[in-house]
A and B are shown apart, each in its own frame.
Chain A
Amino acid sequence: MKLTGAQVMVKSLELEGISTLFGYPGAAISPFYDALLDSTLTHILTRNEQGAAHAASGYSRVTGKVGVCVSTSGPGATNLITGIATAYSDSIPLVAITGQVQSDLIGRDVFQEADITGATEPFCKHNYLVKDVRELPRIIKEAFHIAATGRPGPVVIDVPIDIQTQEIDFKYPKEIEIRGYKPNYKGHPQQIKKIAEAISIAKSPLICAGGGVITAKASDLLTKFAEKCGIPVVTTLMGIGTIPGDHSLNLGMLGSHGVYCANYAVNNTDLLILIGARVGDRALGTTGKIAQKAKIIHIDIDPAEIGKNVSTSIPVVGDVRLVLEDLLEIVKGGDTKQWLSMVLETKQTRKKTIDIQTKNVNPRLVIDSLSQKLSADAIMTTEVGQNQIWAANSFIARKAGAFITSGGLGTMGYGLPAAIGVKKGKPESTVVVVAGDGSFQMSMPELGTIKQEGLAIKIIIFNNSRLGMVRELQKNRHNGRYSQVYLDSNPDFVKLAEAYGFSAERITDNSQVDSALDRLLADDKTYILECIVDPEEATV
């Protein structure tokens, strides 16, 4: 079968089982967009390429498939960069396809030329500049394989326009042979035995679960493991939902923005079991200084994570799911009764009663009431800032994948486009975006995408007319010398929503929260609920 490069790209995507992609066209990718017309693929036109990458990320996170985003060369490709870096930080499988200028013009600084493979090299799992159309099928096959396996991540394929128009005899490879890439899935049995032994003698063991547990689809096993051994669980920001938010053994998020009882447990454990968590600096406090009295077990698919930020006494490289399966066969819990009663007491006594005396709307109250109203399969995406932390600490994620946020890179402007991908991937779920007024404006034009696609997304904006998180930092670290954190000319978000044909309302007081949330959830279209928040409201 003779196909052009562009047709090869489309056909290969179909053969990879891709049904939905997110992108933005331009000259250098126009043959691909032409070929798209003859395919079964659904393409979603975002309002900015960055939105396409974030949407593909959200899509991937709820479907478990590789997310695909497409852009043209030059400015299109550079707009994708933040999305690619965001996916890399959070180990989200993406394939980013970029158009490139004609092969023989590469390197001459022609119109819309940018070296995207060079630019993305530090923060993608791998990338390709296609130089021969005959290599295209192999490259696409490899790209999907690399993105999805081992520790997942983004892969970039840069395709010059002439490659897209040249013809080849198309055959999609069945096998892949990449000799430098052989992820290790099976944990070493000897090491797993050591874990079981360490657990049997531990007095105060603690599990720290990260996003890797979600990637490995192992949250059920994690919960089983915690229950079987009577071990409490703290999660990282990316690990929220790995054990149900309302599970008695769940102590909440650890770290600088985490909750007291999680950090209390971390400081007092004698055996810290890190699972699919890279123990980033926000979780650790000072890098390398976590649970200093504890023996540390680290289970991760990526060998490079082990020993990177904390020194480990029992390292296990492998797929979290497989390791937990093996571990569950042999592990018998020790006596943790005393420890459990201690940490659970901390959880009770410290469980903050939400102060509804605060001025304006208390964001914790909003998230808390929302959690009560949402069903288990609802999904929350967040922006970055105070809003993210309020959501992380108050939302009850009942399932893995129910809480979607930019954990590693902390990318403002992630939540709204990610929600587009989430809703596309799981149309039956209620999807709620939690945003700050600053972050929301970074991706605000994606409201257009939402309108065009007829998506029903619930948007809650915590409007404090500030870059709240930075304001708070300036308050605490710079003696209240506030610099460039005032958002004095925010648009009228309610009118803005109406301009797109969505319903919206603004609330200014806690007494309005309950009924406003009901209206937000009852609407069958996109709905914006703007909550006026006291600028002085603290994060934790």
Chain B
Amino acid sequence: MAKHTLSVLVENRSGVLSRVSGLFSRRGFNIDSLAVGVTEDPEVSRMTIVVDGDDYTVEQVNKQLNKLIDVIKIRTLEPSESVSRELALIKVNATPANRTEIMQIVEIFRAKIVDVSKNTLTVEASGTNEKVTALEDMLRQFGIKEIVRTGTIAIERGNKYIKAGNNEE
């Protein structure tokens, strides 16, 4: 099993997300993460889907997604030729005694503290899925109260891009 990142352009309409996610459950595919947002064209949304599976699964995911009328285009992103990021907000227990230590860890990961209370710190981190996971692991010793992760978003490097029309490079 390996992780594969698909970049999927879809019509920005209600019901599309449920069609896509429904397809995954119905066909028994494993979604690792799914992130959706509108693109430069307000009628088009982009989904970044991370799938866990072998080549057969990825090919089937691709073909089955392509059958959905609202799916405009799909591209499998090569890790070496794309940039991927995930955003996380992590609320961690903080006491006067360990506050500094937490801040140092946050510093090392180039994350940010975005909220403070008497006994918590909320950390904002972005980076590859692995980096966010590593930070989460480091913070776990202090006791994590809550965590929110967006799932991966990814884009191809350089001049390559996917467009809803036919003019792609």
Q: Are B63 and A304 in contact (CB under 8 A)?
A: yes
- Complex Cα–Cα for A308 and B61 (A): 11
Chain A 297-328 per-residue mask, 1 if CB under 8 angstroms from chain B, else 0: 00000111001100000000000000000000
Minimum Cβ distance to chain B for residue A212 (Å):
15
A65 at the interface (CB under 8 A from B): no
Chain A 121-162 per-residue mask, 1 if CB under 8 angstroms from chain B, else 0: 110011001000000000000000010000000000000000
- Complex Cα–Cα for A117 and B18 (A): 11
- Complex Cα–Cα for A124 and B62 (A): 19
Q: Are A179 and B18 in contact (CB under 8 A)?
A: no
Chain A 106-122 per-residue mask, 1 if CB under 8 angstroms from chain B, else 0: 00000000000110011
B67 at the interface (CB under 8 A from A): yes
Q: Are A122 and B10 in contact (CB under 8 A)?
A: no
Q: Are A302 and B22 in contact (CB under 8 A)?
A: no
Q: Are B69 and A180 in contact (CB under 8 A)?
A: yes
B26 at the interface (CB under 8 A from A): yes
A499 at the interface (CB under 8 A from B): no
B60 at the interface (CB under 8 A from A): yes
**Chain A residues whose CB sits within 8 angstroms of the CB of B67 once the complex forms:** 302, 304
Contact partner, B63, options A129, A178, A181, A303, Cβ 8 Å: A303
Q: Are B69 and A121 in contact (CB under 8 A)?
A: no
Q: Are B22 and A122 in contact (CB under 8 A)?
A: yes
Q: Are A121 and B22 in contact (CB under 8 A)?
A: yes
**Chain B residues whose CB sits within 8 angstroms of the CB of A179 once the complex forms:** 11, 72, 164-165
Interface footprint category on A: 10 to 19
Residues of chain A in range 471-501 having any CB-CB distance to chain B below 8 Å: none
Which partner residue on chain A sits nearest B74 by CB separation?
Answer: A180
Chain B 67-95 per-residue mask, 1 if CB under 8 angstroms from chain A, else 0: 11111110000000000000000000000
**Chain A residues whose CB sits within 8 angstroms of the CB of B63 once the complex forms:** 303-304, 307-308
Minimum Cβ distance to chain B for residue A217 (Å):
22
Q: Are A180 and B18 in contact (CB under 8 A)?
A: no
Which partner residue on chain B sits nearest A180 by CB separation?
Answer: B72
B19 at the interface (CB under 8 A from A): yes
Q: Are A303 and B69 in contact (CB under 8 A)?
A: no
Residues of chain A in range 60-119 having any CB-CB distance to chain B below 8 Å: 117-118
**Chain A residues whose CB sits within 8 angstroms of the CB of B56 once the complex forms:** 307
**Chain A residues whose CB sits within 8 angstroms of the CB of B70 once the complex forms:** 180
Which partner residue on chain B sits nearest A122 by CB separation?
Answer: B26
- Complex Cα–Cα for A126 and B73 (A): 17
B15 at the interface (CB under 8 A from A): yes
When A121-B18, A129-B15, A304-B66 are in contact, do A180 and B71 touch as well, CB less than 8 Å?
yes
What 5 pairs across the A-B complex have the smallest Cβ distances?
Answer: A304-B63, A180-B72, A126-B69, A122-B26, A181-B69
Q: Would you list 9 pairs from A and B whose C-beta atoms are within 8 A, ordered by A residue?
A: A118-B18, A121-B19, A122-B22, A179-B164, A180-B71, A181-B69, A304-B60, A304-B66, A307-B56
Chain B positions within 8 Å of A, measured between CB atoms, are 10-11, 15, 18-19, 22-23, 26, 56, 59-60, 63-64, 66-73, 164-165
Chain A positions within 8 Å of B, measured between CB atoms, are 117-118, 121-122, 125-126, 129, 146, 178-181, 302-304, 307-308
